[in-house]
């Protein structure tokens, strides 16, 4: 599992963002190391502490680092010169909160460094899509080829497909060898990968939305059936 | 007439720089409050106080500047931490385990420091950063040495050029750091980083006088 490092000017900010992300994972969670503040309650960043955090989160699968602004980036690039670990370290360009949520959820689901980095970096796209048609278009997954497994279910949760169900879907899909697209059965343009927590959240499916799951791959049938059952069951809420 | 910068002289430089940032703490923070996050004076004062508390009696130039750089990185908090930290760390590694620096050696060390700052901050001259004071200071230092001046005169020339570089940041629009968020509104203010860098070279000139 990849490790996660959170670099912030403020310990409060870092702890709160991590707590938000951890709400969306189960018992299986990545190592998360926080480097925040410059000591003695000073708002700022400390490159030496960032290097320690990168070493704490070290994993053969790599480490993904999320930073807030300004000196957080400078301190982190400097920390790369100080650290003792030798595994790959990737600095995420994602916005802080969305990036941490995506990174932690994907890491917990066993995603690779590449996949977690890509998902986190797509955060602005997902948010733009959620804000409506005035925003830049979001990249649509390509239509599934013939031979796909398909199932449908209706959202029963009062608050719709929100953050927690989205992360549950991503976590469960990690168990299957399948690529599944989640779409609005009545408006197929509204679709996202079942592996993308931000994409699913960006769909903002409300209660009553008829959801179509279409999958390909060796476990496609089991994957779409699992998603259908989870949805019909209200994601355990 | 000084021909080399000895360890005590270098410690004197750093001590004078600490005194200068402490004395100008309010001014630096005022400059930073206009275009940044109003912490440059307090950050540099805290960092340099920690440096002076830590350096003790260094055995060699590289050890001295390693302590300086690492201490700043850990205590400054803002972008000046990694920037000044990288500046001093590069000075140390370039100078090596010696006990004094002659003109060319000090020039090489300072140039390595400038290279580190540019690499770390990804800033170019004209971006309204400390690079705008550092670059002319080193140019003047080298020109003075090349003209046959002693180290004290070269440091004086560097300090004057750094002060001019600082003044020249006033009309610039910031392209790096927190001030760049202000865009055109950053024009009309001195850059706080260039201002503290001018203090750094004024302190060097005083120490080498």
Is A9 marked active-site? no
Q: Flag whether pLDDT at A136 surpasses 90.
A: no
Q: Do A44 and B78 touch (CB under 8 A)?
A: yes
DSSP characters over B74-86: HH--STHHHHHHH
Q: What is the ipTM of this complex?
A: 0.82
Sequence-distant (≥ 6) Cβ neighbours of residue A71 within 8 angstroms: A9, A44, A45, B77, B78, B79, B80, B81, B82
Residue A147's pLDDT is: 61
Q: What is the pLDDT, as a whole number, of residue B95?
A: 97
The pLDDT of residue B115: 97
Q: How far apart are the first and last CA of chain A?
A: 28
- Taking the CA of residue B85 and the nearest CA in chain A, the distance in Å comes to 9
Facing residue for B120 by CB, picked from A9, A46, A74: A74
Q: Band the pLDDT of B198: cuts 50, 70, 90.
A: very high
d(CA B139, CA B201): 13
Burial B7-33 (b: 16+ CB within 10 A, else e): bebbbbbbbbbbbbbeebbebbbbbbe
Per-residue pLDDT tens over the stretch B67-87 = 999 999 999 988 999 999 999
Task: With CB atoms and an 8 Å threshold, state whether B73 touches A78.
Answer: yes
pLDDT band of residue A159 (cuts 50, 70, 90) is: confident
Q: For B83, which of A45, A48, A74 is closest by C-beta distance?
A: A74
Average of per-residue pLDDT across A185-200: 90
In the prediction, which pLDDT does A127 show?
Answer: 79
- pTM comes to 0.80
pLDDT tens for each residue of B18-61: 999 999 999 999 999 998 888 999 999 999 999 999 999 999 99
Which of A29, A90, A118, A162 is catalytic? The answer is A162
Q: What is the dihedral of CA B75, B85, A67, A104, to 10 degrees?
A: -80
User: Which pLDDT band holds residue A164 (cuts at 50, 70, 90)?
Assistant: confident
Statement: residue A63 has pLDDT above 80: yes
């Amino acid at each position: 599992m990849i490790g996660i490092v959170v670099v912030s000017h403020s310990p409060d900010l870092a702890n709160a963002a991590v707590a938000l992300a951890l709400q969306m994972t189960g018992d299986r969670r990545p190592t998360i190391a926080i480097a925040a503040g410059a000591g003695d309650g000073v708002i700022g960043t400390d490159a030496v502490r960032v290097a320690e955090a990168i070493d704490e989160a070290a994993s053969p699968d790599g480490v993904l680092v999320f930073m807030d602004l300004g000196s957080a980036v400078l301190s982190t690039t400097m920390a790369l010169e100080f650290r003792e670990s030798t595994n790959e370290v990737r600095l995420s360009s994602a916005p802080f909160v969305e990036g941490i949520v995506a990174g932690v959820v994907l890491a917990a689901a066993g995603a690779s460094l590449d996949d977690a980095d890509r998902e986190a970096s797509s955060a602005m796209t997902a948010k733009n899509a959620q804000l409506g048609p005035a925003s830049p278009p979001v990249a649509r997954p390509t239509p599934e080829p013939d031979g796909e497994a398909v199932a449908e279910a209706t959202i029963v949760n009062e608050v719709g497909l929100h953050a927690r169900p989205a992360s549950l879907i991503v976590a469960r899909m990690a168990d299957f060898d399948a690529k599944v697209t989640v779409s609005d059965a009545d408006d197929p343009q509204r679709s996202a990968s079942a592996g993308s927590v931000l994409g699913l959240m960006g769909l903002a499916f409300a209660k009553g939305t008829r959801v179509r799951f279409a999958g390909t791959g060796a476990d496609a049938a089991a994957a779409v059936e699992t998603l259908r059952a989870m949805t019909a069951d209200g994601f355990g809420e | 007439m000084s021909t080399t910068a000895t360890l005590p002289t270098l410690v004197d430089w750093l001590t004078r720089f600490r005194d200068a940032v402490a004395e100008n703490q309010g001014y630096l923070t005022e400059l930073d409050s206009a275009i940044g996050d109003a912490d440059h004076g307090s950050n540099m004062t805290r960092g340099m106080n920690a440096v002076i508390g830590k350096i003790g009696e260094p055995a060699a130039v590289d050890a001295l500047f390693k302590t300086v750089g690492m201490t700043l990185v850990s205590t400054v908090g803002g972008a000046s931490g990694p920037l000044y930290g990288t500046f001093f760390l590069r000075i140390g590694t370039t100078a090596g385990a010696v006990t004094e620096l002659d003109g060319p050696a000090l020039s090489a060390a300072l140039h390595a420091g400038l290279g580190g700052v540019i690499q770390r901050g990804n800033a170019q001259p004209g971006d309204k950063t400390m690079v705008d004071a550092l670059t002319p200071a080193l140019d003047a230092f080298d020109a003075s040495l090349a003209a046959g001046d002693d180290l004290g005169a070269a440091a004086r020339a560097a300090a004057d050029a750094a002060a001019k570089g600082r003044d020249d940041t006033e009309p610039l629009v910031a392209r790096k750091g927190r001030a760049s968020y202000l865009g055109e509104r950053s024009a009309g203010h001195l850059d706080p980083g260039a201002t503290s860098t001018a203090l750094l070279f004024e302190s060097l000139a005083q120490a080498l006088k």
